[in-house]
Chains A and B, each alone.
Chain A
Amino acid sequence: MDKKKYVGRSIVRKDGEEKVKGSSIYTDDIILSGLLFAGVYRSNVESGKIIKLGIEKAKKVPGVKAVLTYKDIPGRNLVPVVFDDQPLLVEKRIRYYGEPIALIAAESYEAIEEAKDKIEIEVEKEPRVITIEESIKKKHIVNKRFSENIFQEYHIKRGGVKEAFQNADLIIKNKYSTNYQEHAYLETQSMVASHDLNGRFSIFGSMQCPFYVQEGVATILGIDLSRVTVNLMTTGGAFGGKEDVPSIVAEIAALLSYKTKKPVKYILSREEDISVMSKRHPAYIEYESAFSKNGALLGVKVNYYLDAGAYSTLTPIVLWRGVIHAIGPYTCDAVEINGYGMATNKVPCGAYRGFGTPQIIFAGESQMDIAAEKLGIDPVKIREINAFKKGDITATGQKLKDSIGIRDTIRVGKKEFKWSARKDKIEKFNAKNKYKKRGIGAASMFYGVGLGARGGPLQKGSALISISKDGSVQFAVGTTEMGQGMYTVLSQIAADYFGISVENVSPSRVTTEKVSDSGPTVASRATFISGNAIKLAAERLKSNLIKFMIKKGIVKKGSKIEFKNEKIYETGRFIIGFKELSEKAWLNRVKMIEASWYLPSMTTYNNKNGQGDAYVVYSYTTNFVEIEVDLVTYQTTVISLYSAEEFGKAINPTLAEGQIEGGTVQGIGYSLYEDMILEGGKILSNNFSTYLIPTIMDIGELKPIIVEKPFEEGPFGAKGMGEMPLMAIAPAIGNAIYSATKKRLFNLPLRSEDLYNEFKNK
């Protein structure tokens, strides 16, 4: 019998104690001899040409050690992502407000501020593109390389769309728009760069993707990748905001360090961070759906536009994920989806939990509710009618084979939420209350796990595991711990493969020195990719130990060997303790270290027709929400929010629930509170007194519900789940507002003022 298994148990997180005690070491805690601070002089126009730039006076400020422009870059002036169109420093043309022009290293922040004041600049303003509409109309071409202002476009076509709409009983056509969302991680972007031995560079920082940062630093300095080591510090939240932009932060620190020959720390203030770092793309969506009178989704036509900002960064991939998921978790045989990533003279957008999908889900799931009402079908029922079953085909023509949990999330969530009983209770409440109206809403979604076909060469993972002579196990992976709990989850997985106590498993600091490029820590992929990589390495090590035991005659060849309860069993009979075996193996010079290489199943995508097996597998969520609208102020408050999520297997249920709760709160913020305000391309709401995220007083009752449907290829059946909790909150709340007030809002966030205007303009 297995006394101890860790997978499926809510053990305390490995880094829990140090986080609670405040003893975790963050980038800002790094102090090195001769450390300098970095600052960035940025543009104050959205679009223009630099005519003159004078840095001599700034250089003379006491305490200032370097003032650099693009001319000082020894390598390529580039932030490498997908299309390589973004320079680190402006050469001539400014394309967004806050674009870096000069870098300053100094002994104090006061000296940096003084140096910024002493930089002399003359800029000739040029026409600017602020909205998606202006970009489409080509009011100005943001970057001549993209002559139509389109960074990337995708077209998915499947089935007879024209016929589907001709045969439909109901056609619903609407326009939707969504605003930015700021990541609001607790720790702002931060990096330290320092010289190492023999012309090597060491980077320490807060990030999701050490291998992106490595490439960025090598590119800007013009040195070999293998001369750059990137080390992960404790990372205080990321949510996608530390996928691509940490490369910029590290390049700045590294360039200044290279020039001054001193270690350099660059930490952004909250205001700078919100103003110039990446965000969720604003979107404009035209969504047309065709239904039969019994509620079947017959056809969908979508035009999806993302406001990418001035450089393409991750837009090609963000947009791709959005179009793949545009229909939602529903069977639909006639599909036409067009996606466009549009250039504007604004801060470049990038990755954010959900990656181009929450915007389109808001539209699709609102459409679903509108259809339900028009057809007189319950909103949950219409989702059940259309939800994927085994063997169904996605919009990209992918046949779903395994671990399809959408119907389970609807069924379990509906029951726990008491959908029907709640409906009756609300009717009574609303009849009694003049100024408060309650409503309920639901929304479903699916989400491809891992990078998918557009991730190309990045779909891989590596692990390095070693067993010490005392029987403790150390593992290294290429994905990062950023607060989500990866160290703990992977330790649980490793502990169970070796059958040892999780106390004896130790994750080592993530660094580019230990494993090969394992791709980014994004796309809800860390558990799946690194978990599988750990499995492979553990199997190799166990095989080394078994071979050794056979050689020594401890066990017989061909018999069933099990590793469990910190012991080794042969056909059920205790043979030796794991610790004792480790010591014996060490004495006999057995290989106690193994690296693995994991490649997930093949994915495909045909750019011509938008067809292919886009992702290895999908995870599923249905949200149920009750809200209250105050008719005095038109404000909406969440009463309770249930999230039923299916992601294969919860390795650590408490951590998974933590992800669900955190994501839900971010989703509530995206729905009701977070409203980025700009003046042209300048972000005005650049701190937390103007950019409002929900507080504990604003979130109501949260109830995470985990539904398990193991996936064969996943470690212990796990898929991925980090992003889902946020993604379908907004339409659920929008639908609930409709159910309370009979007013529908088509723009995110769902502003009190917009609801007020709906009441006014009735």
Chain B
Amino acid sequence: MNNIFINVNNLNDLLTAKNEYGKKAKILAGGTDLVVRMKNKMMDPEVIISIRKVDELKGIHSKKNDLIIGSLTTHSEIEENSSIKKNYYPLFQAVYSLGSPQIRNLGTIGGNIGNASPSGDTIPPLYIMDAKIKLMSKNGERIVDIKNFFKGPGKTILKDDEIIHSIIIPKGRWTKKISGFYKVGKRNALAIGVVSVAWIIKEDTIRFSFGGVSPTISTTEIKKNANKKKVEKEVLKAISPIDDIRGSKNYRRDVILNIVEKIKNDNP
């Protein structure tokens, strides 16, 4: 109930604060999840570190081989970036369909990843684009493959003193023609995905990643010429859907299979 609220102004202060308070501290970025959880008494952190003034974590930067997205970049900023819309199309689609304009204006990509929800919208696109995540602490930094970042629903490898610094996406041309993101929500706006699929075509193979059908995001690769049985086998190997309030195990499984089949048919 009596939380300590720390407003940090730069990266160094943030790392110092995180070093000092570690596990006790929760990061407040956009607050679209944290504040809701606190209101619903699902969470009551001792310390809240607001990072909204940490400019070092903001913005989208193009480097020689990589596109770097600061963890404090909002979904709206990603949505409005023309290079992402053109060449990182699945990520554009994911942020475009995420929440509402208000949520997109506040919510950040770092928050979406840090929450580690099995239905986090930005994660499947980052998976298929082989994104890496740069983590930082007072004692140094490390870069990990996004596939190794998640341990389970709500669980990551992030250490108590670490923060998510940025997302590193290897440069690519994942245009509208050869890639996409498919989200099945219960309505067309402001809905959490029941399942989601991101996909990229690489020569004769389609790479898929799936949200909402396993404890963390799952991926698979399917040859364009694979038959229906083979496709089904590969997909079912990757996913392990469960029943919950938004959909049954079987519905999730079959919708994923339908989407994969449709994407395959649409891209002969």
Question: Which of B45-53, B79-87, B243-251 is the interface stretch?
Answer: B243-251
Question: A695 touching B247 by the CB < 8 A rule?
Answer: no
Question: B245 touching A756 by the CB < 8 A rule?
Answer: no
- A695's partner among B190, B245, B248 (CB-CB below 8 A) is B190
Q: List 29 A-B contacts (CB under 8 A).
A: A110-B1, A434-B265, A435-B262, A632-B255, A632-B258, A632-B262, A633-B184, A633-B255, A634-B255, A637-B188, A673-B186, A673-B187, A677-B245, A685-B245, A689-B190, A689-B192, A690-B245, A692-B187, A692-B191, A695-B188, A695-B189, A696-B189, A697-B187, A697-B188, A697-B189, A698-B187, A753-B248, A756-B254, A760-B250
B185-201: which have CB < 8 Å to A?
A: 186-192
- Do A692 and B186 form a contact, CB below 8 Å, given A753-B247, A753-B248? yes
- Write out the residue numbers on chain B whose beta carbons fall within 8 Å of the beta carbon of A110: 1
- Write out the residue numbers on chain A whose beta carbons fall within 8 Å of the beta carbon of B28: none
| B residues apposed to A, CB below 8 Å | 1, 40, 184, 186-192, 245, 247-248, 250-251, 254-255, 258-259, 262, 265
Give the distance in Å from the alpha carbon of A753 to the alpha carbon of B194 in the complex. 11
Question: A695 touching B192 by the CB < 8 A rule?
Answer: no
Give the distance in Å from the alpha carbon of A753 to the alpha carbon of B245 in the complex. 12
Give the distance in Å from the alpha carbon of A632 to the alpha carbon of B188 in the complex. 15
- Write out the residue numbers on chain B whose beta carbons fall within 8 Å of the beta carbon of A458: none
- The reply on A658 being an interface residue by CB < 8 A is no
Question: B187 touching A694 by the CB < 8 A rule?
Answer: yes
- The reply on A635 being an interface residue by CB < 8 A is yes
Closest chain A residue to B254 by CB distance? A756
- Write out the residue numbers on chain B whose beta carbons fall within 8 Å of the beta carbon of A753: 247-248, 251
Give the distance in Å from the alpha carbon of A684 to the alpha carbon of B262 in the complex. 35
A interface, how many residues as a size bin? Answer: 20 to 34
Question: A695 touching B255 by the CB < 8 A rule?
Answer: no
**Binary flags per residue of A645-686, CB closer than 8 Å to B gives 1, else 0:** 000000000000000000000000000010001000000110
* Distance (whole angstroms) from the CB of B207 to the closest CB of chain A: 19
- Write out the residue numbers on chain A whose beta carbons fall within 8 Å of the beta carbon of B189: 695-698
Give the distance in Å from the alpha carbon of A753 to the alpha carbon of B186 in the complex. 11
- A631's partner among B187, B251, B258 (CB-CB below 8 A) is B258
**Binary flags per residue of A721-757, CB closer than 8 Å to B gives 1, else 0:** 0000000000000000000000000000000110010
* Distance (whole angstroms) from the CB of A741 to the closest CB of chain B: 14
- Write out the residue numbers on chain A whose beta carbons fall within 8 Å of the beta carbon of B248: 753
- Write out the residue numbers on chain A whose beta carbons fall within 8 Å of the beta carbon of B259: 632-633
Most chain A beta carbons < 10 A, residue from B40, B192, B248, B255:
B255
Most chain B beta carbons < 10 A, residue from A632, A637, A689, A752:
A632
| A residues apposed to B, CB below 8 Å | 110, 271, 434-435, 631-635, 637, 673, 677, 684-685, 689-690, 692, 694-698, 752-753, 756, 760
- Write out the residue numbers on chain B whose beta carbons fall within 8 Å of the beta carbon of A698: 187-189
Give the distance in Å from the alpha carbon of A434 to the alpha carbon of B262 in the complex. 9
Give the distance in Å from the alpha carbon of A635 to the alpha carbon of B251 in the complex. 12
- B245's partner among A632, A684, A696, A752 (CB-CB below 8 A) is A684
- Do A695 and B258 form a contact, CB below 8 Å, given A677-B245, A690-B245, A753-B251? no
Give the distance in Å from the alpha carbon of A698 to the alpha carbon of B255 in the complex. 20
Closest 10 CB pairs of A and B: A697-B188, A697-B189, A632-B258, A695-B189, A633-B184, A753-B251, A698-B187, A698-B188, A632-B262, A756-B251
Give the distance in Å from the alpha carbon of A710 to the alpha carbon of B184 in the complex. 47
Question: B188 touching A633 by the CB < 8 A rule?
Answer: no
Give the distance in Å from the alpha carbon of A634 to the alpha carbon of B267 in the complex. 22
Give the distance in Å from the alpha carbon of A434 to the alpha carbon of B258 in the complex. 12
Most chain B beta carbons < 10 A, residue from A110, A637, A696, A756:
A756
* Distance (whole angstroms) from the CB of B87 to the closest CB of chain A: 26
- Write out the residue numbers on chain A whose beta carbons fall within 8 Å of the beta carbon of B187: 673, 692, 694-695, 697-698
Give the distance in Å from the alpha carbon of A632 to the alpha carbon of B182 in the complex. 11
* Distance (whole angstroms) from the CB of B117 to the closest CB of chain A: 13
- Write out the residue numbers on chain A whose beta carbons fall within 8 Å of the beta carbon of B188: 637, 695, 697-698
- Write out the residue numbers on chain B whose beta carbons fall within 8 Å of the beta carbon of A684: 245
Closest chain B residue to A434 by CB distance? B265
* Distance (whole angstroms) from the CB of B16 to the closest CB of chain A: 32
Give the distance in Å from the alpha carbon of A694 to the alpha carbon of B189 in the complex. 9
Give the distance in Å from the alpha carbon of A505 to the alpha carbon of B251 in the complex. 58
- Write out the residue numbers on chain B whose beta carbons fall within 8 Å of the beta carbon of A435: 262
* Distance (whole angstroms) from the CB of B71 to the closest CB of chain A: 24
Closest chain A residue to B183 by CB distance? A633
Question: A635 touching B190 by the CB < 8 A rule?
Answer: no
- Write out the residue numbers on chain A whose beta carbons fall within 8 Å of the beta carbon of B247: 753
- Write out the residue numbers on chain B whose beta carbons fall within 8 Å of the beta carbon of A752: 186, 251
* Extra A-B contacts (7), CB below 8 Å, given A434-B265, A698-B188, A756-B254: A110-B1, A632-B262, A637-B188, A677-B245, A692-B187, A756-B251, A760-B250
Give the distance in Å from the alpha carbon of A633 to the alpha carbon of B251 in the complex. 9
* Distance (whole angstroms) from the CB of B263 to the closest CB of chain A: 10
Closest chain B residue to A754 by CB distance? B251
Closest chain A residue to B262 by CB distance? A632
* Distance (whole angstroms) from the CB of A488 to the closest CB of chain B: 31
* Distance (whole angstroms) from the CB of A106 to the closest CB of chain B: 15
Closest chain B residue to A699 by CB distance? B188
- Write out the residue numbers on chain A whose beta carbons fall within 8 Å of the beta carbon of B40: 271
- Write out the residue numbers on chain A whose beta carbons fall within 8 Å of the beta carbon of B251: 634, 752-753, 756
* Distance (whole angstroms) from the CB of B247 to the closest CB of chain A: 6
- Write out the residue numbers on chain B whose beta carbons fall within 8 Å of the beta carbon of A634: 251, 255
- Write out the residue numbers on chain B whose beta carbons fall within 8 Å of the beta carbon of A689: 190, 192
- Write out the residue numbers on chain A whose beta carbons fall within 8 Å of the beta carbon of B258: 631-633
- Write out the residue numbers on chain A whose beta carbons fall within 8 Å of the beta carbon of B192: 689
Give the distance in Å from the alpha carbon of A685 to the alpha carbon of B246 in the complex. 11
- Write out the residue numbers on chain B whose beta carbons fall within 8 Å of the beta carbon of A696: 189
Closest chain A residue to B1 by CB distance? A110
- Write out the residue numbers on chain A whose beta carbons fall within 8 Å of the beta carbon of B254: 756, 760
Give the distance in Å from the alpha carbon of A120 to the alpha carbon of B259 in the complex. 53
Give the distance in Å from the alpha carbon of A672 to the alpha carbon of B126 in the complex. 32
Closest chain A residue to B186 by CB distance? A692
Give the distance in Å from the alpha carbon of A398 to the alpha carbon of B198 in the complex. 61
Question: B184 touching A635 by the CB < 8 A rule?
Answer: yes
Give the distance in Å from the alpha carbon of A271 to the alpha carbon of B41 in the complex. 13
* Distance (whole angstroms) from the CB of A667 to the closest CB of chain B: 15
Give the distance in Å from the alpha carbon of A685 to the alpha carbon of B245 in the complex. 9
Closest chain B residue to A435 by CB distance? B262
Give the distance in Å from the alpha carbon of A685 to the alpha carbon of B244 in the complex. 13
* Distance (whole angstroms) from the CB of A91 to the closest CB of chain B: 29
* Distance (whole angstroms) from the CB of B101 to the closest CB of chain A: 11
Give the distance in Å from the alpha carbon of A637 to the alpha carbon of B185 in the complex. 12
* Distance (whole angstroms) from the CB of A756 to the closest CB of chain B: 5
* Distance (whole angstroms) from the CB of B45 to the closest CB of chain A: 17
- Write out the residue numbers on chain B whose beta carbons fall within 8 Å of the beta carbon of A637: 188
Closest chain B residue to A271 by CB distance? B40
- Write out the residue numbers on chain B whose beta carbons fall within 8 Å of the beta carbon of A631: 258
Give the distance in Å from the alpha carbon of A753 to the alpha carbon of B243 in the complex. 12
Give the distance in Å from the alpha carbon of A690 to the alpha carbon of B192 in the complex. 9
Give the distance in Å from the alpha carbon of A682 to the alpha carbon of B262 in the complex. 40
Closest chain B residue to A690 by CB distance? B245
* Distance (whole angstroms) from the CB of A129 to the closest CB of chain B: 23
Closest chain A residue to B248 by CB distance? A753
Give the distance in Å from the alpha carbon of A434 to the alpha carbon of B266 in the complex. 11
- Write out the residue numbers on chain A whose beta carbons fall within 8 Å of the beta carbon of B190: 689, 695
Closest chain B residue to A756 by CB distance? B251
* Distance (whole angstroms) from the CB of A761 to the closest CB of chain B: 11
Give the distance in Å from the alpha carbon of A689 to the alpha carbon of B32 in the complex. 12
Give the distance in Å from the alpha carbon of A697 to the alpha carbon of B186 in the complex. 12
* Distance (whole angstroms) from the CB of A752 to the closest CB of chain B: 8
Give the distance in Å from the alpha carbon of A168 to the alpha carbon of B120 in the complex. 57
Give the distance in Å from the alpha carbon of A378 to the alpha carbon of B170 in the complex. 59
* Distance (whole angstroms) from the CB of A116 to the closest CB of chain B: 12
Closest chain A residue to B266 by CB distance? A435
* Distance (whole angstroms) from the CB of A385 to the closest CB of chain B: 37
* Distance (whole angstroms) from the CB of A696 to the closest CB of chain B: 8
* Distance (whole angstroms) from the CB of B260 to the closest CB of chain A: 10
Closest chain A residue to B192 by CB distance? A689
* Distance (whole angstroms) from the CB of A673 to the closest CB of chain B: 6
Give the distance in Å from the alpha carbon of A633 to the alpha carbon of B258 in the complex. 8
